[in-house]
């Protein structure tokens, strides 16, 4: 197995992992899915001198993948020191050169896709087809900001106080060093895609990927190095958030975080104390509405992807489905049938529709939510059980009916392959129930009347709303801002907003000929009267 092709673990999706003896007593590599030499090419990018490591295992079968070196608080300080030096030079690099490097990254992501898909699946457990979504999204992000950053960051001319005599230029200058704390559920795109526009804006990045998916993030950084980004421009630290989070916030000029609402609130407080900005994509209890005129087959297919992509471990996945009376029975029949027909497995094969959860902790949460609901009267229409024979942390895609407010899964995010069905009588009731609670991340509406669905979307308190699609229409459209309302977060990734968050807006005013003080021998009173006359004239002319 070469470094450019990690291959398939034996018993997971293909042939043997390493050549030579398969006795760990004589060959320590035989007990690892990935060659230690290959792993070392990735982990050497971590700024870590503590001498301690933590093991990384695959949720596919519990096989060891790597030992990840851990960073100390001194390592965090060193990472920021290096990043600040690199940022000073990078900020002077012409936009065209930054874009050229970014486009090389785009091509490398696509060229090295098989390797990336293997690592994502081995670390995260998701189906290979869902790992592909990550690589495609990251490449789309790189290409978008390579092509559009010049436009988004170009200096703008605005009206001055005195027409002709006052010139106003609006500049977008980099903040400095951006701290990115990324999650495990989309380990490539969440680790890289938030940082790519930061680089295009002239910043440096210090990233702390989640401990459970470090190799994926490090593979992304390796490709960035190969594309030609200055090595010190993107620093990586590894360790628990409770230990490294505060040191990062203390040294960052901006923080980007994706994770739980509880942690996001703590980060927001710490950023507020330093008067630095932050963007936070947090929890969700996302609704999906099936209206009376929906195409039932398309709605059922879309609901399966919306609910069970990445085993439901997706911030924008649907956990609540509201279905109109007129189509409820037909929709439920098709949705249940499609769910039961899913191919479940823990392999690197393309044919798998859903893989395992990432950890025992996630499995425990999903199991507790379903068991609680069933004990309190909910009905299981599909799934409802763990499948340890498939993988240690596997749980079936589960559909519940009769979920009520006293059940944990009614209002709390499960973040697993569990969705609840609810019948509604009129659309105003469905909208009110979709808006119930404190979250507001993503929603979906299925209807054959696009205009009516878009009108309903404006009433949904979510940062993104997808029509006749679960989440991909907005998530895949990199020009579309993405983020949450209410307790689902603040700030936006993607689009112009996704790069402007990493800049400070600077106004430059150039005054010519006319002075801002009385001139031509006028005293203050006459100057004020002349100014007042000018204001009235400008108003008559319709000037802002």
Nearest-angstrom CA–CA distance, 242 and 263:
10
Q: Up-side HSE of residue 385: CA atoms within 13 Å toward CB?
A: 7
C-alpha distance from residue 460 to each of 89, 450, 484, 487 (Å)? 45, 15, 12, 15
Sign of the four-CA dihedral 137, 142, 143, 145: positive
Nearest to residue 360, comparing CAs of 54, 32, 59?
A: 59
Nearest-angstrom CA–CA distance, 107 and 135:
11
3-state secondary structure of 395: strand
C-alpha distance from residue 463 to each of 227, 258, 316, 381, 453 (Å)? 33, 15, 10, 30, 16
3-state secondary structure of 139: helix
Q: In what order do the strands lie in the sheet with 277-281?
A: 234-236, 204-208, 177-181, 254-258, 277-281, 489-490
The residue with tokens 């799934």 is: 383
Nearest-angstrom CA–CA distance, 151 and 62:
47
> What phi-psi label fits residue 327: left (phi over 0), alpha (psi between -120 and 50 degrees) or beta?
alpha
3-state secondary structure of 264: helix
Q: Are strands 286-290 and 442-446 parallel, antiparallel or unpaired?
A: parallel
Nearest-angstrom CA–CA distance, 161 and 521:
21
| Active site amino acids | 281, 315
Instruction: Supply the Cα-derived Rg of the chain in whole angstroms.
Output: 26
Nearest to residue 118, comparing CAs of 225, 208, 35, 46?
A: 35
- For residue 102, count other CB atoms closer than 10 A to its CB: 25
- For residue 404, count other CB atoms closer than 10 A to its CB: 12
Nearest-angstrom CA–CA distance, 383 and 371:
12
Helix residue ranges per DSSP H, 276-327: 296-308
Nearest-angstrom CA–CA distance, 441 and 272:
23
Nearest to residue 344, comparing CAs of 390, 399, 389?
A: 390
- For residue 197, count other CB atoms closer than 10 A to its CB: 32
Nearest-angstrom CA–CA distance, 490 and 2:
43
Nearest-angstrom CA–CA distance, 42 and 380:
44
- Which 8-state DSSP code applies to residue 342? P
Nearest-angstrom CA–CA distance, 358 and 57:
10
């Amino acid at each position: 197995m070469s470094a450019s092709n990690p291959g398939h673990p034996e018993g997971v999706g293909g042939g043997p992992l390493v050549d030579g003896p398969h006795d760990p007593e004589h060959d320590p590599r035989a007990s690892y899915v990935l060659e230690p030499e290959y792993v070392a090419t990735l982990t050497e990018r971590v700024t870590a001198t503590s001498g301690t490591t933590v093991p990384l295992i695959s949720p596919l079968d519990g096989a060891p993948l790597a030992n990840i070196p851990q960073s100390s608080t001194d390592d965090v300080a060193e990472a920021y020191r290096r990043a600040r030096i690199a940022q000073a030079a990078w900020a002077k690099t012409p936009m065209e050169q930054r874009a050229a490097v970014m486009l090389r990254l785009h091509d490398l992501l696509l060229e090295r896709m098989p390797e990336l898909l293997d690592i994502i699946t081995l670390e995260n457990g998701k189906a290979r087809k869902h790992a592909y979504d990550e690589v495609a999204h990251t490449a789309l992000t790189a290409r978008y900001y390579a092509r559009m950053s010049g436009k988004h960051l170009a200096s703008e001319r605005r009206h001055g106080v005195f027409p002709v005599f006052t010139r106003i230029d609006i500049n977008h200058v980099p903040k400095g060093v951006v701290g990115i704390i990324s999650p495990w559920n989309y380990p490539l795109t969440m680790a890289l895609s938030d940082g790519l526009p930061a680089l295009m804006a002239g910043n440096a990045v210090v990233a702390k990927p989640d401990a459970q998916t470090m190799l994926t993030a490090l593979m992304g950084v390796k490709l960035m190095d190969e594309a030609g980004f200055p090595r010190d421009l993107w620093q990586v630290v590894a360790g628990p958030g409770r230990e490294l989070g505060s040191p990062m916030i203390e040294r960052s000029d901006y923080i980007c975080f994706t994770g739980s609402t509880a942690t996001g609130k703590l980060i927001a407080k710490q950023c507020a104390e330093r008067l630095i900005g932050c963007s936070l994509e947090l929890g969700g209890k996302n609704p999906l509405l099936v209206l009376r005129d929906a195409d039932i087959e398309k709605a059922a297919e879309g609901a399966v992807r919306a609910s069970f992509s990445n085993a439901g471990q997706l911030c924008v996945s649907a956990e609540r489905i509201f279905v109109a009376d007129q189509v409820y029975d037909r929709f439920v029949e098709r949705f249940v049938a499609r769910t039961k027909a899913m191919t479940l497995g823990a392999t690197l094969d393309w044919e798998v529709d859903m893989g395992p959860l990432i950890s025992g902790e996630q499995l425990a949460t999903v199991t507790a939510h379903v068991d609680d609901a069933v004990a309190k009267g909910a009905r299981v229409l599909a799934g409802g059980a763990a499948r340890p024979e498939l993988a240690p942390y596997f749980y079936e895609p589960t559909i519940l009916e009769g979920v009520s407010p006293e059940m944990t899964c009614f209002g709390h995010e499960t973040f697993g392959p569990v969705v609840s069905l609810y019948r509604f009588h009129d659309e105003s009731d469905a909208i009110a129930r979709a808006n119930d609670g404190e979250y507001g991340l993503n929603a979906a509406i299925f209807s054959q009347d696009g205009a009516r669905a878009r009108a309903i979307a404006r009433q949904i308190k979510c940062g993104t709303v997808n029509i006749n699609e679960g989440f991909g229409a907005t998530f895949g459209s990199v020009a579309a801002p993405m983020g949450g309302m209410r307790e689902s977060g603040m700030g936006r990734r993607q689009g112009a907003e996704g790069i402007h968050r990493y800049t400070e807006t600077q106004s430059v005013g150039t005054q010519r000929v006319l002075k801002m003080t009385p001139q031509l021998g006028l005293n203050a009173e006459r100057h004020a009267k002349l100014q007042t006359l000018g204001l009235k004239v400008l108003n008559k002319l319709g000037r802002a």
